[in-house]
Amino acid sequence: MITIEKPENEDARLEALRAYQVLDSAQEQDYDDIVNMASEICDASVAYVSFIDEDRQWFKSTKNFDVKELPRNESICAYAITTPEKMLVIDNLQNDERFDDHPAVTGDMNVKFYASVALVNDDGYELGTICVFDKREKELRKKQLEALKALARQVINVLELKKLQLVHERNIQILDQRNKTFEKYVVNQTNSVSSTLSSINMMTDLLKKHMNDDNTKKAKDQIPKIQNSSAEVIKIIDQVREDYKLIDMCAKKKERVDLKSTFDDIFSSNTIKRKKASYVYISDKKAIYENKFLIRSLLEKYIEVIVLVNASNEIKFHFNIKSSLGKNEILIIDDAITPIDTSEFLENIHLILNASGTEMKVKFLKGTGHTTKISFQP
């Protein structure tokens, strides 16, 4: 039997396939209808739609073929997706030296006729096949072949439609999470404002008392305190506006983010320079596709917090980037000496990340730095 090679773009192909979340999904009428049409049009007893996973051929819908998956190295369809024509038609497998010793040909199935069309999405990735086969030797007419190609395109249309539905559902979840997160954020900031306003009221009462007592010096002493507290309220309100803008910008589309350039920009700021902060970039990955505004703003906020609480004269960050099946992760390790728990300082960053569907996990070792992993959803 012929050795079945994997496509050169295998990693990207698998990433594209898994983005549809079709593997191991339940039976669906849309696919069943297409499979039945393929069987009728080609006058073949067996038909199916299948997808080629990393090590298996998984069957989404079948007619007269009670199999859920096969090893990839036994799959004729796994070979079919690597052909330049993206279509494989064999009138009699027993006369084809590539497959004449295949188990489906030599075993009880006794397959002779085989025809498949690769399922190729708009980005050019071969996801699987629509296939018909039979125990009878046969030859398809040109119209039948064209119809089989049309059904393959219809499978892709169904996949894309269901992917859009998944994206829509995901966006609703993110929006709901953003609303809940922002509500929590507003509550936290409102509490801060309320506390500061209470202090202002208390100092104003003292001011009135001292003025009534004709104690001018004590009254004057309260004025700077009131001014400072008022400035603190303004600062909180400005921070709310800035963070709301950041949460709103989280919905922007993904684009190429040059990571080295981003880190260079962040570490060139005067705030970070004054703390003698430096970094080492230990990843071979030069760029990722994410929300550029989100990446820049949140990394900058995170680094500024760690630098702020660092008790030593210098601090070094190590950044590593990992990407797998469309999911990007940023690993940050620092050697900050922080005698206090930084979780309170990072709370707002956590809230904003959650609103964008991004997860951040921080491992804090008192006095010896942090290990932080930021995971972005595919």
- Dump pLDDT digits (tens) for 244-296: 555 555 555 677 888 888 889 888 888 787 778 889 998 888 888 887 877 88
Entry pTM: 0.54
Angle value at C-alpha 286, between 330 and 270, nearest 5 degrees: 70
CA dihedral (93, 17, 34, 133) in degrees, to 10, reads 10
Sequence spans of domains, the chain = 10-167, 252-378
Give whole-number Cα distances, 274 to 117, 129, 268, 269, 332, in Å.
Answer: 63, 60, 10, 9, 21
3-state secondary structure of 45: coil
Q: What is the pLDDT of residue 348?
A: 63
List Cβ neighbours of 320 (8 Å cut-off, separation of 6 or more). Answer: 282, 283, 330, 331
pLDDT tens digit string along 253-265? 677 888 888 889 8
Measured CA distances, 190 to 111, 196, 340 (Å) = 72, 10, 25
What phi, psi does 308 have (nearest 5°)? Answer: -60, -40
CA diameter of the chain = 113
CA 322 vs. chain centroid, Å, equals 12
* pLDDT at 293 (0 to 100): 76
Query: What DSSP letter does each residue of 68-82 carry, written as one string?
Result: SEEEGGG-HHHHHTT
317: CB partners within 8 A, 6+ apart: 277, 278, 279, 280, 303, 306, 332, 333, 334
Q: Which CATH superfamily is domain 10-167 in?
A: GAF domain (3.30.450.40)
Architecture category of domain 252-378 in CATH: 2-Layer Sandwich (3.30)
Residue positions counted in the chain: 378
Amino acid at 286: K
CA–CA distance, 115 with 323 (Å, rounded to integer)? 37
**50 contacts 71 by C-beta, under 8 angstroms:** no
Sites in the chain below the pLDDT cut of 70: 1, 168, 171-253, 325-326, 339-360, 362-368, 377-378
Both tokens of 330, joined, read: 């940023």
Which residue in 357, 285, 296 sits closest to 321, CA to CA? 285
Per-residue confidence (pLDDT) for residue 49, from 0 to 100? 97
Q: How far apart are CA 63 and CA 158, in angstroms?
A: 18
CA distance 91 to 99: 12
Helices (H), the chain: 10-19, 29-42, 76-80, 103-106, 142-212, 216-249, 259-267, 270-274, 292-309, 347-355
Which one, of 338, 333, 351, lies nearest residue 282 by Cα? Answer: 333
| Phi, psi angles (nearest 5°) of residue 43 | 55, 50
Q: Give Cα 249 to chain centroid, integer Å.
A: 17
What is the per-residue pLDDT for 135?
93
215: left (phi over 0), alpha (psi -120 to 50) or beta: beta
At residue 328, φ and ψ (nearest 5 deg) are: -100, 140
